[in-house]
Amino acid sequence: MKTLKAFIVDDEVIMCEALQRQLEQIPDIEVVGIYHDGEEVLAMVERLKPDLIFLDIRMPGLNGMETAAILDQKVDAPAVVFVTAYDEFALKAFEVNAMDYILKPFDKADIERVLRKMRKHALRQALDLTEDRLVQKKKGNEHPQKFCGYHGEVRVIVDSRSIQLFYAEGGEVFLVTENGEKYVLRQTLQEVEEKLDDSRFFRCHRNYIVNIDFVKQISPWFNRGYLLSLKGGSPIEVPVSRAHVKTLEQYIYF
């Protein structure tokens, strides 16, 4: 279990000491700062990045509610637990997204209840983050099955499985099919590469992306590169620059 870093913020030194003693009895929480006004804690949040702040409400200067409202605007804001003797603030506490509310005098059971809630919240966040990453990964793995190539004003839909290569020349980008048909694309070669399934399409040169399924022969080329001979309607040779030779070994076992 991750050790939680906590701040204690109260203008009464005695209350800070009492809360610190309670927290010291709990193994997976560490008090990394004790402060006595809102301005001070706001100055230290960015430096020490606490997970949890035990915050008094009635303090001179910037009070607890105002401090919590400012914290709530921050990215990755710490969780806030209000610690106060005044229960009339309970509803207002949740208006600034406080995690919980403890009434003075408090005891160890109050602190443990807060920490259980904190851990559940952290677990939910972790699960949500994992789910978001899986969704993004799935989206990232979605590759277009068709490309729109242009022959003059005519638009031709080409199945990605039939594409031998993409290449850039004279400021334009082209795709070539297995039958030797060539079409202009409206995207840059970099934009095309970002959409392709990199388990099949290999950026072998700054000007070429080849469909590895069409490679039938490899020959040495100058400067320790290679030439790839592609199978298809007409003979095509595609260079592999030295910078991309190691990547080629991920596709072909030499």
Q: For 91-139, how does the pLDDT look when each residue is reduced to its tens digit (9 = 90+)?
A: 565 566 778 888 888 888 888 888 888 777 666 665 655 565 655 655 5
Alpha helices in 63-107 (DSSP H): 64-71, 90-95
Q: How far is CA 3 from CA 30, 62, 183, in A?
A: 7, 29, 59
Q: Tell how strand 100-103 and strand 79-84 pair up.
A: parallel
Q: Which pLDDT value is given to residue 20?
A: 93
Alpha helices in 141-221 (DSSP H): 189-195
- For residues 98 and 68, the answer to whether their CB atoms sit within 8 Å is yes
Q: Measured on CA atoms in the order 200, 204, 209, 215, is the torsion positive or negative?
A: negative
Does the global pTM surpass 0.75?
no
Express each pLDDT in 160-181 by its tens digit: 999 999 999 999 999 999 999 9
Q: Which of 60-69, 186-195, 199-208 has the lowest mean pLDDT?
A: 60-69
What is the signed CA dihedral for 83, 87, 93, 95, rounded to 10 degrees? 180
List of domains in the chain: 4-139 (3.40.50.2300), 146-248 (2.40.50.1020)
- For residues 209 and 192, the answer to whether their CB atoms sit within 8 Å is yes
Q: How far is CA 100 from CA 3, 59, 163, 172, 179, in A?
A: 19, 18, 59, 60, 68
Tokens standing for 65? 């509610």
Q: Is 193 a residue whose pLDDT tops 70? A: yes
Query: Around Cβ 196, how many Cβ atoms within 10 Å?
Result: 19
Alpha helices in the chain (DSSP H): 13-24, 38-48, 64-71, 90-95, 108-140, 189-195, 245-248
- For residues 106 and 87, the answer to whether their CB atoms sit within 8 Å is no
Tokens standing for 25? 């009895």
Alpha-carbon span 104 to 102, nearest angstrom? 7
Mean pLDDT, rounded, for 1-20: 89
